[in-house]
Structure 1
Amino acid sequence: MGQHSINNYKGKFHSSLSTYMISFIRERNLYTSKDECVELQYTMGQLDRYLVSIGYTKKYLNQESIQGWLGSFSGIKDITLYRKYIIVAKFSRYLCEMGMDSYIIRAPRKLRHCDFVPHIFTHEEILMLFNTADSLRQRSTQSKSFILIMPALLRLLYSTGIRIGEALNIKNEDIDFDRKVIVINKSKNGKQRYAPINDSLEFILREYLAWRTKIKKCQLDKPNAHFFVNFLGNNPCLRAVQTWFKKILDQSNIVIKGDPETYRLHAIRHTACVHAMMKLSKGGMNVYAYLPVLATFMGHKHINDTEYYLRLTLEMYPEILKIDKHLTPDILNKLSKYSNMNYEYE
């Protein structure tokens, strides 16, 4: 989302807070992904229309207006409603920073503690996904197809554990092969962090670059150009990548057990964290001691977000972690006391 798209949206806000909404979107646009900005604009548009419908004229958000807007949604998934809570809370904080004493709402506990449990791919299933992506790329003849980036993209997601939105926003200048790191500038939390490049990932990324040099479109090698593109030099949107992942999953012969919705692209990030914990445990490391390191690796704002993966690992691979079950609940309770209970599953 660039400045052009923000300007096109100006005429679509009509409430008393329209000016602040546009400036809020413009600021968030500096460090959020394209798809996140689309969601933000859509949600702010919903809020704007609601405020107009009730004749709201204040230059701040009060508790009644926020609760009324959130209460107007019915029949939507908990996770969707939760994201609306998060967006309106961020907008209220922004208004407070602008000197407007706005009410900041917290999402109900039942929404923050979503029951959704992602599928954790086995090592064998990860290899099946990689092999299928490689095969589909070799057979592809369409220049517009984004299957051409999928082998490198999937390996990047699994190797680094970064979010798909963060991966698609990587620019050429963000990849430093000399230091073996990728700079994540547009992160979910708005903070810069680094993702490591191991030897196998470096080989895959350089292989992808060798293929990309064959594209005739100029300026693809500019520092601020997107790293992942198709044969036409276009950066993919999230939906296109998700569609291709679904095709890869369908053709990989992975047996779907339980809810198919848990076999989503984002599950690779969850898998990366759980597999990292498994590797630490097999190496004789104390997983609890490494939670702060894993939190940094995953880009988590709160250590409890990382501890959620530990719970998954305990449930799915108890024989691997070999942790005294009598000590585990006490340790988890202590972790909960020192962190904000706000699972984001991201």
Structure 2
Amino acid sequence: MKQEILLQYKQKLIQRRYSVNTQKTYLSLFKKFLHRFNDKAINDISKAEIEGYIYSLIRTENISFSTQNQIINAIKFYYERVLNRERLTYWIERPKKEFKLPTVISEQSILRMLTSTNNIKHRCIIALLYSSGIRRSELLNLKKGDIDYERMMITIRGGKGNRDRVSLLSQTFMQSLIEYLQIYNPKYWFFESPTKKKYSSTSVLNIVKKAARKAGLAQKVTPHTLRHSFATHLLEHGTDIRYVQDLLGHSSIKTTQIYTHISDTSLRKIISPLDRVMSLNLNDVKPLEKVIY
């Protein structure tokens, strides 16, 4: 019975064109939910029991806000999409969204990462992640024909939300990409494993982390850090936020606006009050008047 439910669940995810990553995440979370109520029919599970399940995960596993939301969405998907129940008949309290600033590294740090990477394939991976702002999954899904060397554009197909978009191709790194293709001669995917299969997500992460370590960076650097840095650096150099939104593939401008909080263009114009204090001439400072109590 449980296997039949999971099969229905997966088929509905595919029908609704959810991305492969989302399918894996939802299925994993929903399997865990089914296992928790293994001795009970899923249609008999009450709202209170589901809330108790989520609260127990918060207490025992200290799940994050985003994970809690994913669990809620995975459960709601079954009741609302697979069983076609009304959305308002099933409701779980959601957490307040955390406001965390993304990690960004400087342009100098990007250069140090690139120059400290000798392997041309690894260097091209880092360069593409930063120069186009694409996600790791989008990089792995790139095909040879997705890069237009004449128009200097990269086509990202089936990005987040199954939306296609275009992004920038770096002029200074184009020759390195061509050289990489000549050396590795990938068959289908732009980046492939030695067996000519799609390159692994873990390999990309390890390449970025190793480059950051060799460059002597103290921050924790991931492929998404390069995406954050791409957006922030564009804004710092005066690129209109609407263009940055399109390049990142954000459906809402509010998502892109988070980068305005970490752009240091405006901060550079603000002088620390301590700098003002330390610039004062002590001879010009009036002595304190004595106060008689």
Does TM, scored on the shorter chain, surpass 0.5? yes
Q: 1: CA distance between counterparts of 2:169 and 2:93?
A: 37
Decide whether aligned partners of structure 1 residues 244 and 196 sit closer, same or farther in structure 2, where only a CA change above 3 A counts.
closer
Q: How many residues align?
A: 265
Higher alpha-carbon deviation: 267-276 or 149-158? 149-158
Q: 1: CA distance between counterparts of 2:179 and 2:92?
A: 48
Quote the residue 1:100 is aligned against: 85
Q: 2: CA distance between counterparts of 1:179 and 1:62?
A: 56
Q: 1: CA distance between counterparts of 2:133 and 2:209?
A: 19
Q: Deviations over 1:39-89 (max 9, x none)?
A: 33322322332343443226xx97446434422313223333333344445
Match of 1:296 among 237, 242, 246: 246
Quote the residue 2:34 is aligned against: 48
Contact map agreement 2:132 2:230 (CA 8 A) in 1: yes
Contact map agreement 1:17 1:48 (CA 8 A) in 2: no
SS at match of 1:57: helix
How far has the Cα of 1:90 moved from its partner?
Answer: 5.2
How far has the Cα of 1:310 moved from its partner?
Answer: 0.7
| Paired letter, 1:303 | I
How far has the Cα of 1:303 moved from its partner?
Answer: 0.8
Q: Deviations over 1:126-182 (max 9, x none)?
A: 01111122x2x2xxxxxxxxxx63211111111111111111111223223333322
Greater C-alpha radius of gyration: 2
Contact map agreement 2:135 2:223 (CA 8 A) in 1: no
Decide whether aligned partners of structure 1 residues 92 and 129 sit closer, same or farther in structure 2, where only a CA change above 3 A counts.
farther
Residue 13 of structure 2 is aligned to residue 22 of structure 1: no
SS at match of 2:57: coil
How far has the Cα of 1:36 moved from its partner?
Answer: 4.6
Quote the residue 2:255 is aligned against: 305
How far has the Cα of 1:105 moved from its partner?
Answer: 4.9
Residue 191 of structure 2 is aligned to residue 228 of structure 1: yes
Quote the residue 1:120 is aligned against: 104
Contact map agreement 1:291 1:306 (CA 8 A) in 2: yes
Q: 1: CA distance between counterparts of 2:55 and 2:3?
A: 19
SS at match of 2:42: coil
How far has the Cα of 1:121 moved from its partner?
Answer: 0.8
Q: 2: CA distance between counterparts of 1:99 and 1:31?
A: 17
Decide whether aligned partners of structure 1 residues 175 and 303 sit closer, same or farther in structure 2, where only a CA change above 3 A counts.
same
Identity of aligned residues (%): 20
| Paired letter, 1:204 | S
Decide whether aligned partners of structure 1 residues 57 and 99 sit closer, same or farther in structure 2, where only a CA change above 3 A counts.
closer
1:146-225 equivalences under 5 Å are 149-213=121-185, 220-221=186-187, 225=188
Quote the residue 1:335 is aligned against: none
SS at match of 1:266: helix
Quote the residue 2:284 is aligned against: none
Contact map agreement 1:93 1:104 (CA 8 A) in 2: no
Residue 64 of structure 2 is aligned to residue 77 of structure 1: yes
SS at match of 1:170: coil
Quote the residue 1:330 is aligned against: none
Decide whether aligned partners of structure 1 residues 149 and 32 sit closer, same or farther in structure 2, where only a CA change above 3 A counts.
farther
Q: CA RMSD in A?
A: 2.9
Per the normalisation by structure 2, the TM-score is 0.77
Contact map agreement 1:183 1:194 (CA 8 A) in 2: yes
SS at match of 2:167: strand
Decide whether aligned partners of structure 1 residues 211 and 250 sit closer, same or farther in structure 2, where only a CA change above 3 A counts.
same
Q: 2: CA distance between counterparts of 1:186 and 1:207?
A: 27
Residue 220 of structure 2 is aligned to residue 270 of structure 1: no
